[in-house]
Amino acid sequence: MKTQFVTNEKGKKVAVILPIEQYQKMIEELEEAEDIRMYDKAKAEGGESIPMEEAFMMIEKKRKAR
């Protein structure tokens, strides 16, 4: 991974610059990890299950309401 660092006046690294493709891949992987955590949490809490198609419809409805 090719990265560049931004440093402050004391030479301390304060930021990183990386290619957009690598940034986008990192974001996708973080979102997937968050989805897995949310699934695991919901499964551990038990509760009522709903069909996947119904869940997708509810999610889309919420997205459109924003």
Whether pTM > 0.75 for this model: the answer is no
Q: Residue 63: its pLDDT value, please? A: 78
Residue boundaries of the structural domains of the chain:
4-65
pLDDT score at 49: 80
Q: How far is CA 28 from CA 17, 18, 32, 40, in A?
A: 18, 15, 6, 18
Please tell me the total number of residues recorded for the chain in this structure. 66
- From first to last of its 66 residues, the chain has per-residue pLDDT tens of 788 999 999 999 999 999 999 999 999 999 999 989 988 888 888 878 888 888 888 888 887 887
